Structure 1
């Protein structure tokens, strides 16, 4: 009797393991396909041409969407996982690049006609991932409090990037995706003025209510409502540093343009490629929606 019972338990356990393995395999395959499909129709991240436009619109020569496509093209050109030479769009000069030693460039400074564009890519390196996770807050001058990890990344580039913005006497765009969107928001906050505009894609929350209140509508966040990164950090985060103090608050600021495209995984929903498809009007989601709000 005892051997039969043991055998029955073993058979049931084996069946459970097989079922769980099949479910995980199917889920992994589905998520992987979703990520690949969001990047290119061939499922290869090396199929770069779908998202790097060989002839993107020129700034100031079309409508608002054309400008956003031109800017998005500059961001996607920054997104390499190794340090490589960045190829600027036609009729555009890449005047400077900055990044951690031996790592992919984080920021590119482009000049196109009268326009200066400061473009930040998203998270790539282990150090940047660790920065993303440092969600306690630090003072950001007169602008309230901001995410510590984003602040640390800002400090790395401020002395290099700020002079380019301040000495340019024409229109300037400060743009970025993901972590780069957070950095673009901080650089915009510090340098905002009559000729300064900001544009971010899939940006997380950056700072507290004071920081958000001091942003104006000249910085626009483009948000996929299924992109979970745009909802992080949470609006109220526990203050583990000083438990007796108030919660850390994180509030979005500026103007937002929202759409919805669920591609089956958090990573696919967050890819810059998904945002470019929205701008191109080629998103595969027939239920694509958009609206514009402030704060």
Structure 2
């Protein structure tokens, strides 16, 4: 039996964002259908909880974090929160081993709304290069590529395909990747059940 995340990841069609959840976003902004549908299942509840916490704590900033599918959902949540929280709320996103979430219009919109986004990729992890750019998927800015213990580079631009130290040049195809690198280490932390005892 396939897990929910595998079924979600496999649904790679692109659809526009739901304007009820993402007010004012044009139909040219398209995202992975599986990620979009998974996000819609929890978005209203997450927004209600975040609004409650922001109000009760007087918070002026919100941070979203996720790995893999969770990273894709964190990118969608960051955009969603930026459109639905009071103006002036600072949104920060940190994602690890995140696949491409949407088309270039989505990546551009995310970059314009979330100024503090870091996508951390580990060594030869193949997940950040899927779905492929040939399917009209794109990453935005903010890539940090871990090259090894204590060594990482910030990659300029969006989906940097020029710098030999960035993800696309390190892992040009899924056959050049290593799925074990998807699990870490990220700043010394491994993610995944194979590392649990």
Same fold (TM over 0.5): yes
Higher mean displacement: 164-173 or 201-210: 164-173
Identify the match of residue 185 of structure 1 among 75, 100, 123. 75
Distance 1:215 1:221, change over 3 A: same
Please name the residue that 1:252 is paired with: 139
Give the 3-state SS of the residue equivalent to 1:207 in structure 2. coil
Shift of 1:163: 1.4
226, 230, 249: which is aligned to 2:128? Answer: 230
Query: In 1, Cα distance between the equivalents of 2:106 and 2:44?
Result: 21
- The superposition leaves residues 31-67 of structure 1 with CA deviations (integer Å, 9 ceiling, x where unpaired) of xxxxxxxxxxxxxxxxxxxxxxxxxxxxxxxxxxxxx
Structure 1 residue 276: Cα displacement: 3.4
Q: Are 2:14 and 1:137 aligned?
A: yes
Where in structure 2 are there 5+ consecutive unaligned residues? Answer: 20-24, 83-87, 149-169, 171-175, 191-197
Match of 2:32 in 1: 147
Residue deviations 1:209-236 (CA, integer Å, cap 9, x gap): 1110012331111112411000000012
Q: In 2, distance between residues paired with 1:136 and 1:165? A: 30
Aligned residue pairs, count: 142
In 2, Cα distance between equivalents of 1:227 and 1:278: 15
Query: Over residues 233-263 of structure 1, what are the superposed CA-to-partner deviations in whole Å (9 max), with x where a residue is unaligned?
Result: 00122xxxxxxxxxxx11111311112249x
- Cα displacement string for residues 54-104 of structure 1 (whole angstroms, at most 9, x for unaligned residues): xxxxxxxxxxxxxxxxxxxxxxxxxxxxxxxxxxxxxxxxxxxxxxxxxxx
TM-score under structure 2 length normalisation: 0.65
Pair member with larger Rg:
1
Alpha-carbon shift at residue 269 of structure 1 (Å): 0.4
Contact 1:166 1:191 survives alignment (8 Å): no
Which residue does 2:92 correspond to in 1? 197
Structure 1 unmatched ranges of 5 or more: 1-124, 238-248, 280-295
RMSD of aligned alpha carbons: 2.4
Residues 177 and 202, structure 1, Cα contact 8 Å, conserved in 2: yes
TM-score (norm 1): 0.44
Q: Provide the C-alpha distance between the structure 2 equivalents of 1:260 and 1:250, rounded to a whole number of angstroms.
A: 24
